[in-house]
Chains A and B, each alone.
Chain A
Amino acid sequence: MDKKEEILKLLEADARLSAAEVAKAVGLSEEEVAKAIVELEKSGVIRKYKTVINWEKLGREKVAALIDVKITPEREHGYDAIAERIMRFPEVKNLYLVSGMYDLSVLVEGNTMKEVATFVAEKLAPLPQVTSTTTHFILKKYKEDGDMLYDGEELRRLAVSP
């Protein structure tokens, strides 16, 4: 694996590793790693550093829904123009163009069910290119962005073994 990829793997697993820590693990100097990270940030390979939060644990229950949206594509723009319009709403967390029974898959988040429903009814569905919407409220999150969101049992190895 090349060194850049190694650096990215480490940061993907733990964004808080310092350049010095990364340097020791990949076998480069701290300066080389710091420089590589700046380059990866500048070129947009590293988009940003985020924290995976289980908001439910704070008692702050957000409501999310997956919405299947059927679209009439536009001459010259296909799906892009409408997609760009939809993605600007801050309520929209994820937006994908998909194959199959419908066209856009939209993940919307709000503080209450009513908020999400209002967004769909007043902002999304009335768009002229949107021919139909089907809303699926998310009941429980098991895994998000590759991280499991529940506390399994803690697995313990013997503290000392041969």
Chain B
Amino acid sequence: MMRDKIARRVAQVPPSGIRKFFDLVANVEGVISLGVGEPDFITPWHIREACIYSLERGYTMYTSNYGLPELREEITLATKRDYGVDYSPENEVLVTVGVSEAFDLAIRALVNPGEEVLIPEPSYVAYKPCTIFAGGVPVSVPTRAEDEFKLLPEQLEAKVTPKSKVLVLSYPNNPTGATMSKRDLEAIADIVVEHDLVVISDEIYDKLTYEGKHVPFAALNGMRERCIYLNGFSKSYAMTGWRIGYALGEAEVIEAMMKIHQYAMLCAPIMSQKAALEALRRGNSVVEEMRQEYNRRRRLIVKRLREAGLECFEPKGAFYVFPSIASTGMSSEEFAERLLREEKVAVVPGNAFGEGGEGHVRMAYAASLRDINEAMSRLERFLSR
């Protein structure tokens, strides 16, 4: 017999719930998918055109491990302009292959074997597995619909132990659409200080906020030095396929992350960096147009879900709604599978997003108004059976 080939750390992580559902959906024709976690817009033309131009001029080489200096400069300028948080383009920015890579680097740079990483759930699916791959121990912190899926200080406090090292924040949130106001975050910051935690804040949906103004965790008093601030281009600029994002933080952590990045990735693709530069320089008005369009879809889908009889927290950011399906008596998976089979509408079962996701499904409103309307009519028919 051959010995166990796959490392235990990898083998112990179960297959992704999203992946499983993807395979199911792939076998059905004529599906309207509200299961897609990416914009339905194509990258704005001026950004694509800037990339083409850079290729014509021959920009096909490696860049500095940290990323193109002009892009780092532009990232720090934008962060200062939008949020008043100041980072040095020299050594406090790292351009990465998406926020995905940035998160992986941050976790690997921070966590020693056995140290605990606090993850509010429901949450984006990558945090837990990446923590395990890095040898850390993920600890779920529940958030609930009745609290608008905000992270409450008492819920967090209850899960802190002497082994806690990192807290992951992710607002606006995938899958719930929750946001955290300055006041909400300040209550969390107190606990961060008290227990000497480091925060990885994934703010990839910052520009897709519909009520109130987005506040980066790093903008709070004293939090800049405790926070690795992640952001990217995938969602706000509709650039998922470009694989480009960045991390901001104090030189010490950014250098540690760069140490891994330089060997594992070397650098982010130069063509994507060139496109990102154009996005930051001239993309703001298109982002705002897309935000307004998402906002119209958000109003529509929440209204229709409620008319269909599903209880639903009104999301304040990102492009997801996370209605409760508890009233149907079905589990999330059963609901999603039957809705797919019987009415050809794809949604993602809530349990794919961790504890507290059961009893919900995630619907992405990154779809046309027409498709959302049709999907909601099918849902109504499904629920009235």
B22-39 residues with Cβ-Cβ distance < 8 A to A are: 22, 25-26, 31, 33, 35-38
A6, A17, A24, A160: residue with the most chain B Cβ atoms closer than 10 Å = A160
Interface-lining segment among A69-77, A83-91, A110-118, A151-159: A151-159
| B292 pairs with A17, CB closer than 8 A | no
A160's partner among B18, B303, B304 (CB-CB below 8 A) is B18
Interface size on A, residues (CB 8 A): 18
A-B contact pairs, 20 of them (CB 8 A): A1-B292, A6-B296, A10-B369, A21-B300, A24-B299, A25-B297, A25-B299, A27-B299, A155-B42, A157-B38, A157-B40, A159-B35, A160-B22, A160-B35, A160-B348, A161-B35, A161-B36, A162-B16, A162-B37, A162-B126
Q: Which residues of A contact B35 (CB under 8 A)?
A: 159-161
A161 to B42 CA separation, bound complex (whole angstroms): 16
A-B contact count (CB 8 A): 62
B369's partner among A21, A27, A160, A161 (CB-CB below 8 A) is A21
A6 to B124 CA separation, bound complex (whole angstroms): 32
Q: Which residues of A contact B370 (CB under 8 A)?
A: 14
B22's partner among A6, A17, A24, A158 (CB-CB below 8 A) is A158
Q: A1-B292, A157-B40, A162-B124 are in contact. Are A26 and B299 (CB under 8 A)?
A: yes
| B38 pairs with A14, CB closer than 8 A | no
Q: Residues of A at under 8 Å CB distance from B?
A: 1, 6, 9-10, 14, 17, 21, 24-27, 155, 157-162
Known: A159-B22, A161-B22, A162-B125; 15 extra A-B contacts, CB below 8 A, are: A10-B369, A24-B304, A25-B296, A26-B296, A159-B25, A159-B31, A159-B36, A159-B346, A160-B18, A160-B22, A160-B25, A160-B36, A160-B346, A161-B18, A161-B38
Q: Is B229 an interface residue (CB 8 A)?
A: no
Q: Is B65 an interface residue (CB 8 A)?
A: no
Min C-beta distance of A146 to chain B, whole Å: 13
Q: Is B373 an interface residue (CB 8 A)?
A: yes
| B369 pairs with A162, CB closer than 8 A | no
Min C-beta distance of A4 to chain B, whole Å: 14
Q: Name which residue of chain B comes closest to A18, CB basis.
A: B373
Q: A21-B369, A24-B304, A159-B25 are in contact. Are A10 and B36 (CB under 8 A)?
A: no
Q: Name which residue of chain A comes closest to B307, CB basis.
A: A24
Q: Residues of B at under 8 Å CB distance from A?
A: 16, 18, 21-22, 25-26, 31, 33, 35-38, 40, 42, 124-126, 174, 292, 296-297, 299-300, 303-304, 346, 348, 369-370, 373
Min C-beta distance of A133 to chain B, whole Å: 35
What 10 pairs between A and B have smallest CB-CB spacing?
Answer: A160-B35, A25-B296, A160-B22, A24-B300, A25-B300, A159-B25, A161-B37, A24-B303, A159-B33, A27-B299
A162's partner among B18, B31, B346, B373 (CB-CB below 8 A) is B18
Q: Which residues of A contact B42 (CB under 8 A)?
A: 155
| B369 pairs with A14, CB closer than 8 A | yes
B40, B42, B126, B299: residue with the most chain A Cβ atoms closer than 10 Å = B299
Q: Name which residue of chain A comes closest to B31, CB basis.
A: A159
A160 to B292 CA separation, bound complex (whole angstroms): 24
Min C-beta distance of B271 to chain A, whole Å: 19
Q: Name which residue of chain B comes closest to A20, CB basis.
A: B373
Q: Name which residue of chain A comes closest to B21, CB basis.
A: A160
B37, B40, B42: residue with the most chain A Cβ atoms closer than 10 Å = B37
Q: Which residues of B contact A162 (CB under 8 A)?
A: 16, 18, 37, 124-126, 174
Q: Which residues of B contact A6 (CB under 8 A)?
A: 292, 296
A158 to B35 CA separation, bound complex (whole angstroms): 9
A73 to B292 CA separation, bound complex (whole angstroms): 46
